[in-house]
Amino acid sequence: MQKSPEGLNREGCDMIKNEFLLMMEQDLQTHENKQQLADVLNCMKEILKSYPPETEIDSAKTAEGCFKAMREYAQKNQESGCYYFGHDKSVEFITDYLGLGKAKSGGTIDLFDFV
């Protein structure tokens, strides 16, 4: 199992949300396609804001892996040589990639919970 300079696990177990984001930021610093990776990482950060700090993420998941999976998906589902990831599809794809369930926001009540 590899460890980062800070001693965080890289493989074989789950990381909590902040460890994951820190690891992705470190990876971004040395990546050749910084802009693409930064865009995916920014989306991940926005999505993860609605999850509690103790949320666990598989350490095998990466921003680069997500970008590659999104590119493959787009290539398979393109029409006329194009595919557009809209907001909702991006959130759904990244959430699924990270293995996260749907986050419940703390500020709203779903009335169907009481039915």
> Mean pLDDT over all residues of the chain?
82
Share of the chain above pLDDT 70, in %: 77
Q: How confident is the model at residue 20 (pLDDT cuts 50, 70, 90)?
A: very high
Contacts of 86 (CB under 8 A, 6+ apart): none
pLDDT of residue 33: 83
* Torsion sign, CA atoms 111, 86, 32, 75: positive
Q: Which helix (H) or strand (E) holds 63?
A: helix 63-76
pLDDT of residue 111: 52
Q: How confident is the model at residue 69 (pLDDT cuts 50, 70, 90)?
A: very high
Count CB-CB contacts under 10 A for residue 67: 18
Q: How confident is the model at residue 74 (pLDDT cuts 50, 70, 90)?
A: very high
> What pLDDT, in 10s, does the model give residues 83-101?
999 999 999 999 999 999 7
Contact of 17 with 51, CB cutoff 8 Å: yes
How confident is the model over 74-90, as a mean pLDDT?
Answer: 93
Residue entry with tokens 């909590």: 16
Rounded CA-CA distance 40/37 in Å is: 5
For residue 25, pLDDT over 70 is answered with: yes
Longest dimension (CA), the chain: 52
Which two three-digit tokens encode residue 109?
């009540």
Nearest to residue 99, comparing CAs of 28, 33, 17, 3? 17
